[in-house]
C-alpha cells in the first residue's frame, strides 16, 4: 500500500499577513491594511495583532514538531522586505525568516516558502495593483531577492497563493482587497498579471540555478454538474473555466480558455512572449481544496450556467462539506494534465465554532473538524491507491489566525489561540491528526 507511506509529506500551511502580526522593524502598509481601515473587513480588524507568530514562532515550531509534520508552508511578507519601494531591498527584513527557518531545521521540519499570499505593499498599488502588468516585473524583483537571500536554506518554494482570489474577489465581488466590485475586465487583467508574475518568478529561479523545487498553488474550482444530463455537464465545464482553467491552462498548455472570455465579454492582455514565460515548467502543482459547488445549465445567464442549492452540511464559512469533490477535482486535474505532474494538497481544513472547554479551559472539542479531516483524507487515500501522484498534504492551519475579511470571527486552526494573551491550546483535531501522521489511526 502506497498511500501515506514514509515519504508522504505531512505539513501545515499559513500565511504572513494572517499569522505574523505587526512584528518589528520597518514594514510597508499593505493592501489589506488599507482595505481593513476602509471598512472592507469585519469590525475593521486587520493583521496587526493576530496570533503573533513573529514573537511566538518557537512555540509554534514546537507544536509542529509534536504534531509530527515534516513541512511548514508559510509566506514571506513582501512589505517587510521592500518597506519603501521596489528599488530598495531591506535585507534585515529577512532576519525573522532566518530565525524561523533555523528553528524549523533544528526541529527536523522543512520550510516551504511561498513568495506571496496577498499582502501587496501599498507603494506598489498606485498604478492599479495587479491590473497593471508592471506589477509582474516588481514581483520578479522581489522573487529574485527572496531566492538570493534564502535559497541556500530552502528547497521547496511556491510562487503566488491562489491567484484567483486577489483577481476575482479583489476586482469582481469586492470581498477581498482592494475591494472593487463588478470590474470584470480588471479581474481578468489581474489574473493575467498574476500568472505572468508566477512565470517570471519560476524563470528567475531557474536562471539563478537554485536548488530544490518550485510550483504554483491554486484553489481550483470545479463545480459538479447538478445532474448527468449533457447540458449540465457542459455547464460544469464552463464554470471551471474561470476558477480552474484560467490558471492551469496557461501554465500547462500555454493558452487561456476561450469560451469564458467570450461569454463575459473580456479579453486577456497577453503580449508577445507572455505565454512562454507563464508556461515555464513547474516542478509540482499545489492544490487548495475546501469545498465544491454545483451548477446547472442556464440559458438566461451570460455564462450559461448558474449555481444550485445543495443538501450538504455547511461550515461556518457557509461552504458545503463535500469530500468527494476533492476526488472529482483531482481526477479532473489528472485527466487534463496527466499523472506525470507531482501534486500536493497545499491547503485543506475548515472553520468551526470552537470553544475552550474543561475546568481549566485546556481543551477544544472540535469534532466537526476531525470528521472533516477524516473524510477528506479518505478521498486522498482513495486517489493515491488509484494512481494519483499526490505527494503531500498541508492542513490549513496550525494556529487560529486572521481570516481576511472575516477577521477573527472564523477559526481554522488545529490549535486554538486566545487573541488577547496569545495562549495556544491544541484542539482535539490536533491530537487526531497526530495519530494519523504517526500511522496509528486507520484512514
Q: What is the largest CA-CA distance in the chain?
A: 65
332 binds ligand PNW (CB under 6 A): no
Per-residue interface string for the shown chain with ligand PNW, residues 163-192, x marking contact by CB under 6 A: --x---x-----------------------
Q: Give least dist CB 18 to ligand PNW, A.
A: 6
Nearest distance in Å: CB 303, ligand PNW? 17
Residue closer to ligand PNW (CB basis): 90 or 408: 408
Least distance CB 16 / ligand PNW (angstroms): 10
In the residue annotation, 84 being an active-site residue is answered as no
Q: What residues contact residue 408 under an 8 Å CB cut-off, 6+ apart?
A: 42, 45, 50, 400, 402, 419
Nearest to 390 by CA among 10, 112, 114, 117: 10
> Is there binding between residue 162 and ligand PNW (CB under 6 A)?
yes
Q: Per CB under 6 A, which region of 106-114, 162-170, 336-344, 353-361 contacts ligand PNW?
A: 162-170
Considering the complex, state which of residue 165 and residue 399 has its C-beta at the smaller distance from ligand PNW. 165
- Shortest approach of ligand PNW to residue 392 CB, angstroms? 16
Instruction: Give the distance, in angstroms, between the CA of residue 133 and the centroid of all CA atoms in the same chain.
Output: 22
CA angle 289, 293, 298 (to 5 degrees): 145
Q: In this structure, are residues 216 and 160 in contact, taking their beta carbons and an 8 Å threshold?
A: yes
Q: Which three cell numbers stand for residue 222?
A: 470545479
Which run of H or of E encompasses 306? strand 305-307
CA distances, 378 to each of 196, 329, 371, 374, 402 (Å): 35, 15, 11, 6, 29
Query: Which CB sits closer to ligand PNW, 279 or 323?
Result: 323
Q: Considering only 29-37, 160-168, 263-271, 424-432, which stretch makes contact with ligand PNW by CB under 6 A?
A: 160-168
Residue in 103, 110, 140, 162 annotated catalytic: 162
Part in contact with ligand PNW (CB under 6 A); list of ranges 159-167, 184-192, 255-263, 362-370: 159-167
Q: Which is nearer to ligand PNW, 82 or 402 (CB)?
A: 402
In the annotation, is 162 catalytic?
yes
Q: State in angstroms the smallest separation of the CB of 412 from ligand PNW.
A: 6
Single out the residue of 71, 61, 274 nearest to residue 158, CA to CA.
Answer: 71
347 backbone dihedrals φ, ψ, rounded to 5°: -155, 140
Assess 396 for contact with ligand PNW (CB under 6 A): yes
Near ligand PNW in 288-307, by CB under 6 A: 288
The C-alpha atoms of residue 316 and residue 214 are separated, in whole angstroms, by: 33
CB of 92 to ligand PNW, least distance (A): 26
Element at 150 (helix H, strand E): helix 134-150
If the CB atoms of residues 210 and 221 are measured against ligand PNW, the closer one turns out to be 221
Note whether 15 binds ligand PNW by CB under 6 A. yes
Q: Which DSSP state fits 282? A: P
DSSP code at position 148:
H
Q: Which three cell numbers stand for residue 255?
A: 493558452
The 3-state DSSP class for residue 158 equals strand
Specify which residues 305 forms β-bridges with: 297
Map the footprint of ligand PNW across residues 194-213, applying CB under 6 A: none
CB neighbourhood size of 260 (10 A): 20
Containing 290, the helix (H) or strand (E) segment is none
Contact string 335-364 vs ligand PNW (x = CB under 6 A): ------------x-----------------
Smallest distance, Å, CB 275 to ligand PNW? 26
Q: Is 404 exposed, middle or buried (0-12, 13-18, 19+ CB in 10 A)?
A: buried
Nearer to ligand PNW, 77 or 161 (CB): 161
Binding of ligand PNW by 247 (CB under 6 A):
no
Give the active site residues. 162, 347
Site for ligand PNW, rule CB under 6 A = 15, 18, 161-162, 165, 169, 219, 288, 347, 396, 403, 412
Amino acid at each position: 500500500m502506497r498511500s501515506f507511506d514514509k515519504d508522504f509529506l505531512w505539513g501545515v500551511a499559513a500565511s504572513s499577513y494572517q499569522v505574523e502580526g505587526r512584528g518589528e522593524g520597518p514594514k510597508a502598509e499593505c493592501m489589506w491594511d488599507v482595505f481593513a481601515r476602509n471598512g472592507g473587513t469585519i469590525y475593521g480588524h486587520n493583521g496587526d495583532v493576530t496570533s503573533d507568530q513573529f514573537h511566538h514562532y518557537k512555540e509554534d515550531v514546537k507544536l509542529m514538531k509534536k504534531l509530527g509534520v515534516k513541512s511548514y508552508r508559510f509566506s514571506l511578507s513582501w512589505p517587510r522586505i521592500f518597506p519603501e519601494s521596489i528599488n530598495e531591498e531591506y535585507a534585515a527584513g529577512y532576519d525573522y525568516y532566518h530565525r524561523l527557518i533555523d528553528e524549523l531545521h533544528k526541529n527536523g521540519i522543512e520550510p516551504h516558502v511561498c513568495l506571496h499570499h496577498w499582502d501587496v505593499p501599498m507603494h506598489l498599488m498606485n498604478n492599479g495593483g495587479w491590473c497593471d502588468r508592471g506589477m509582474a516585473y516588481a514581483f520578479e524583483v522581489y522573487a529574485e531577492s527572496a531566492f538570493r537571500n534564502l535559497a541556500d536554506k530552502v528547497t521547496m518554494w511556491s510562487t503566488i497563493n491562489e491567484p484567483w482570489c486577489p483577481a476575482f474577489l479583489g476586482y469582481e465581488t469586492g470581498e477581498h482587497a482592494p475591494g472593487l466590485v463588478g470590474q470584470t475586465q480588471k479581474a481578468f487583467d489581474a489574473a493575467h498579471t498574476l500568472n505572468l508574475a508566477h512565470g517570471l518568478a519560476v524563470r528567475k529561479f531557474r536562471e539563478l540555478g537554485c536548488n530544490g523545487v518550485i510550483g504554483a498553488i491554486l484553489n481550483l474550482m470545479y463545480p459538479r454538474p447538478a445532474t448527468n444530463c449533457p447540458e449540465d455537464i457542459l455547464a460544469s465545464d464552463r464554470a471551471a473555466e474561470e476558477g480552474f482553467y484560467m490558471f492551469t491552462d496557461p501554465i500547462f498548455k500555454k493558452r487561456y480558455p476561450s469560451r469564458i472570455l467570450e461569454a463575459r465579454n473580456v479579453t486577456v492582455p497577453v503580449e508577445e512572449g507572455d505565454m512562454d514565460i507563464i508556461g515555464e515548467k513547474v516542478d509540482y502543482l499545489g492544490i487548495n481544496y475546501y469545498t465544491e459547488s454545483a451548477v446547472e445549465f442556464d440559458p438566461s445567464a451570460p455564462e450559461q450556467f448558474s449555481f444550485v442549492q445543495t443538501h450538504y452540511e455547511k461550515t461556518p464559512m457557509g461552504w458545503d462539506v463535500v469530500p468527494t469533490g476533492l476526488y472529482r477535482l483531482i481526477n479532473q486535474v489528472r485527466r487534463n494534465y496527466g499523472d506525470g505532474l507531482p501534486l500536493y494538497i497545499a491547503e485543506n481544513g475548515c472553520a468551526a465554532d470552537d470553544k475552550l472547554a474543561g475546568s481549566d479551559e485546556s481543551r477544544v472539542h472540535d469534532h466537526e473538524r476531525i470528521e472533516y479531516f477524516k473524510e477528506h483524507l479518505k478521498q486522498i487515500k482513495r486517489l493515491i491507491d488509484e494512481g494519483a501522484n499526490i505527494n503531500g498534504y498541508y492542513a490549513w492551519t496550525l494556529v487560529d489566525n486572521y481570516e481576511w475579511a472575516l477577521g477573527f470571527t472564523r477559526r481554522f486552526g488545529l490549535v486554538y489561540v486566545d487573541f488577547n494573551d496569545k495562549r495556544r491550546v491544541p484542539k482535539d483535531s490536533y491530537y487526531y491528526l497526530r495519530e494519523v501522521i504517526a500511522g496509528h489511526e486507520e484512514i
